Amino acid sequence: MKAFLSALCLLALPAWATEPLAGWAIYPTSKSYDQLVDATKTAIKENGLIVVTQAGPTKAAAARGITIPGNRVIGAFNNDYAVRVLETSTAAMIEAPIRFYVTEDEDGTATLSYKTPSFVFAPYLPEGSAALAEIAEELDNRFQDIAESAVK
């Protein structure tokens, strides 16, 4: 069922996309940008991951007198996954933390998007083998749970 829901989410594109992006899960919402940023950070914590990084050009642009739509990248991971990934592929750790992307839409709503962990880790499967594929699948499920919680 989760795979089916993920496939449906891939069909819904935010305003900034002109064609489907391979490996992305996309969740349009009726929430405002600030609400979705807060809900995403809360859902990350509630689902056993940690907000490791946050970055976005919106506030810095405003400080320069430039207005752009809300735009925030939120990196999520935890030490347990880090240790497990490193046991399979040192190179794969360059991808951690895996990121959520919150974008403000023209109508004042916001969209939550992310590259699925299985897509992110796919280039490292020859080195990481089935163990890395299993970790990626676990993370796919966890990221989907986070997204579904955040967009409620």
Helix (H) or strand (E) holding 111: strand 110-115
Whether pTM > 0.95 for this model: the answer is no
Taking Cα atoms as reference points, which of 25, 32, 28, 29 lies closest to residue 10?
25
| pLDDT tens profile 57-68 | 999 999 999 999
Specify burial of residue 94 (Cβ count, 10 A radius: 0-12, 13-18, 19+). Answer: exposed
| pLDDT tens profile 40-89 | 999 999 999 999 999 999 999 999 999 999 999 999 999 999 999 999 99
Quickly name the fold that domain 2-14+23-151 has.
TATA-Binding Protein (3.30.310)
> What ranges do the domains of the chain cover?
2-14+23-151
